[in-house]
A and B are shown apart, each in its own frame.
Chain A
Amino acid sequence: MVELLNPILWHSIVAAATFFVLPTLGEIYAERSGILNLGIEGMVIAGAAGSYAIAYQTQDILLGVLFGMFIGGLLATIHAILTITFNRNQVVSGIGLTILGTGLSGLLGDAVVGKALKGIDSTPIPILKDIPTIGEVFFDQNIFVYLSFILAPILWFILYKTRIGILIRSVGENPSASMNQGVNVRLIRYLCVIFGGMMAGLGGAYLSLGWLNFWTDGMTQGRGWIVIALVVVALWNPLGAFIGSYLFGMFDVLQFSFQHEAIPFIFPTGIPPSVLKMMPPVSTILFLAIWGIILSQQKVKSIVGAPTALAKPFED
């Protein structure tokens, strides 16, 4: 039987969840400002490849991470120009971004495929790590994980309790009204989309430098798309993103625990790995199905506060 209470298992769930937290926080800001960016997968994978390549060549992890964020921000800028300045279809542009990012990752990471690099060490937090079990699971991780702990509440605070947050949400809710109030709608949307791209790039850097410590083509395995589903599950709320990410982190990690479980008649010698790999996407789809039915009620939508102007073209 799978040992569900094993701290090592939960340690790796935290590591997997952190990957989801970072890009999801960025995408929440982009969507709150009214721009749907489906290119997360492309920005994450290009960020992962770029940061690993730079970190390998310069032997400087920090430089690699910054480069990953730069690549993510750069790709997001393309999306921003097309969708905000030129008012193009956000879905198609996002798909283009994914294709471009995947190609770019192959180019950037070509030189470092399979090359080993010492990633970021875990830095245990002095007193907190001594708490039994919890300390081992949460406070014996690397700096990215702590960053995600800090960023989620900070970004929640900015979005709901500050003037900037109100501006972002109003731009996503009713851009024309905001513009009449003298708000620079385009500027705010640009900043939010680019911030989203940089967070996706950071997530990519975490994937290759902080978590898995290698680079190979297609290593995200579609996790970037799960981020887009996560934004909805999180109800466009940074704190919700944190909870949702841990849920999907569990899907991601638990699949490996079932590798030696036999199911009578169907898989008598254990579940094959390719069947287990289906678990994260299939559970996401099922989750979205249930969530979609709940969210389709207009009343629920207004309570939840989904951005009304999301993915709608805005011409002034």
Chain B
Amino acid sequence: MKIANYELIFQKRTFSITGFRAIAYRILFVIFGLMTVGFIFLLNGINPLDLFFLSNRSMLRIILILLPHTFVSFIPLLCIAIGLAIPFKARIDNIGAEGQFIMGMLAATWTAMEFPDLPSIVLIPLMFLNGFILGAIWALPVVFFRAKGGFQGADVVVSFLMVFPALYLMQYLVSGPWRDPATGFAFSKILPESAQIPGIPIEIYVPFLDATWNFDPVHISIFLVLIIALVTYYYLFRTEEGIPKTKIGYEINVTGKNPLAGRMAGISFFKVILISMIISGGLAGIAGVAEIAGNKLRLTVNSAGYGFTAIVVAYLGGLNPIGIIFSALFFAALISGGTAINLTGLPVSALDMFSGIILFYVLLSEFFFRYTIKWRRS
């Protein structure tokens, strides 16, 4: 690319950047993203510094006050994003996690209403199991289209379109057969007590914020999600000198990096897609169960859109469960800070804009892992 007398050239690095330098690059590009969003706010006549730091209702303060509540969105974001990282790593673009998440919520509600008399110790695991199964079933069409589809992007389109049947099914059930006659709204009945995920309520007074942190009971499922993160890391992502240690982890990696070589080496493309999509859909389903049984306690007509934000979370975390824990925390804090955005008069969807821009910058940062830019006089 030439600009005036100078030429812009991309030079390949001898070694691509990994480890801590890669993380530093990511953080740098996230800061670029924040600056871009700040610039857009500025165009709208809102001082971004005010929004983020200075004012009494600044995002930072609200994030700190709402810190315990960030875990409410942290749990589904982390669970879905880990599920997404597996197919993404194999270059299977499952962007319909939202639909799989909704199916998980439906499975939880159905199980709880069908077997309210079971003791918690049986009922709650059963809900998670059903959530996993239904979420995985909802992801299966993607397998078919990825393996047999005749063109690029079919799997992406189908995985997205599967969100709508799930969403409308939920709307139908909530406003029809499952509607709670006691309220005037389209709500389902509150889950029976045996189906609610128990937790230990904690209250901490924080002097410098002049506020109380109320940790919600939802926090017992946080352990489940963190265990899932560690287990998937151990069995699918763990590497030694850049090579995955487990067989399935290696197969997923090869399928993503060089499917032709993988096929030559006898790796079944179909098997990798099937396994990664079942885990992916299943984890999104589990996130849905945790959301219903731990947080919302009843179905409503809409869903929070975690499935889409989780795509960005997965990429920001470098498609690695450990990185995703941190990027999920970051986005969970942003979601609760979104309330601050709302207070300034901007719509909440400004958060979507932010996610999109972050995704672009993360993509761009990966370019600089392998290349450097140089200006040369021509």
Query: Which residues of A line the B interface, CB within 8 A?
Result: 36, 38, 42, 78, 82, 85-89, 91-107, 110, 217, 221-222, 225-226, 228-229, 232, 272, 274-275, 277-278, 281-282, 284-285, 288-289, 291-297, 300-301, 306, 310-311
Given contacts A274-B171, A288-B157, 4 further A-B contacts (CB under 8 A): A99-B356, A285-B158, A295-B150, A296-B149
Q: Which A residue sits closest to B40, measured CB to CB?
A: A107
Instruction: Please list the 10 inter-chain residue pairs (A to B) with the smallest Cβ-Cβ separation, ordered nearest first.
Output: A106-B349, A100-B356, A103-B353, A295-B150, A103-B352, A96-B359, A99-B356, A296-B150, A281-B164, A274-B171
Residues of A within 8 A of B176 (CB): 272
Residues of B within 8 A of A78 (CB): 360
Residues of A within 8 A of B354 (CB): 103
Q: Which B residue sits closest to A225, measured CB to CB?
A: B160
- Dominant secondary structure at the B interface: helix
Query: Which residues of B line the A interface, CB within 8 A?
Result: 1, 40, 44, 93, 95, 141, 144-145, 148-154, 156-158, 160-165, 168-169, 171-172, 175-176, 308, 311-312, 315, 346-357, 359-360, 363-364, 366-367
Assuming A88-B367, A106-B348, A289-B144, is B154 touching A232 (CB within 8 A)? yes
Closest Cβ–Cβ distance, residue A236 to chain B (whole Å): 9
Assuming A93-B360, A97-B356, is B165 touching A102 (CB within 8 A)? no
Closest Cβ–Cβ distance, residue A221 to chain B (whole Å): 8
Q: Which of A91, A221, A291 contacts B156 (CB 8 A)?
A: A91
Which among A94, A99, A229, A278 has the greatest number of chain B C-beta atoms within 10 A? A99
- Dominant secondary structure at the A interface: helix
**Is there contact, CB below 8 Å, between A285 and B162?**
yes
Assuming A82-B364, A99-B356, A102-B352, is B164 touching A222 (CB within 8 A)? yes
Q: Which A residue sits closest to B170, measured CB to CB?
A: A274
Closest Cβ–Cβ distance, residue B256 to chain A (whole Å): 11
Assuming A102-B349, A107-B349, A275-B168, is B151 touching A295 (CB within 8 A)? yes
Assuming A89-B363, A93-B360, A288-B145, is B355 touching A36 (CB within 8 A)? no
The 24 listed contacts between A and B (C-beta, < 8 Å) are A86-B367, A92-B315, A95-B359, A96-B363, A98-B356, A100-B355, A103-B351, A103-B352, A103-B356, A107-B347, A222-B161, A232-B151, A232-B153, A272-B175, A274-B171, A274-B172, A284-B161, A288-B158, A292-B148, A292-B151, A292-B154, A297-B150, A301-B150, A310-B152
Q: Which of A95, A110, A288 contacts B347 (CB 8 A)?
A: A110
Closest Cβ–Cβ distance, residue B373 to chain A (whole Å): 10
Q: Which B residue sits closest to A46, measured CB to CB?
A: B353
**Is there contact, CB below 8 Å, between B156 and A38?**
yes
Residues of A within 8 A of B360 (CB): 78, 82, 93, 96, 100
Closest Cβ–Cβ distance, residue A297 to chain B (whole Å): 7
Residues of B within 8 A of A288 (CB): 145, 149, 154, 157-158
Residues of B within 8 A of A94 (CB): 156
Assuming A95-B311, A102-B349, A285-B162, is B152 touching A311 (CB within 8 A)? yes
Q: How far is the CA of A285 from the CA of B144 in the complex (A)?
A: 12
Q: Which A residue sits closest to B315, measured CB to CB?
A: A92
Closest Cβ–Cβ distance, residue B40 to chain A (whole Å): 8
Q: How far is the CA of A107 from the CA of B354 in the complex (A)?
A: 11
Assuming A95-B93, A217-B349, is B315 touching A272 (CB within 8 A)? no
Q: Which A residue sits closest to B43, measured CB to CB?
A: A107
Q: How far is the CA of A20 from the CA of B156 in the complex (A)?
A: 19
Q: Which of A36, A87, A110, A310 contacts B346 (CB 8 A)?
A: A110
Q: Which of B163, B168, B348 contacts A274 (CB 8 A)?
A: B168
Which among B1, B165, B175 has the greatest number of chain A C-beta atoms within 10 A? B165
Q: Which A residue sits closest to B345, measured CB to CB?
A: A110
Residues of B within 8 A of A36 (CB): 152-153
Q: How far is the CA of A93 from the CA of B315 in the complex (A)?
A: 11
**Is there contact, CB below 8 Å, between B171 and A103?**
no
Q: Which B residue sits closest to A294, measured CB to CB?
A: B150
Closest Cβ–Cβ distance, residue A200 to chain B (whole Å): 15
**Is there contact, CB below 8 Å, between B356 and A96?**
yes
Which among B151, B168, B346 has the greatest number of chain A C-beta atoms within 10 A? B151
Q: Which of A96, A225, A297, A310 contacts B161 (CB 8 A)?
A: A225
Closest Cβ–Cβ distance, residue B56 to chain A (whole Å): 24
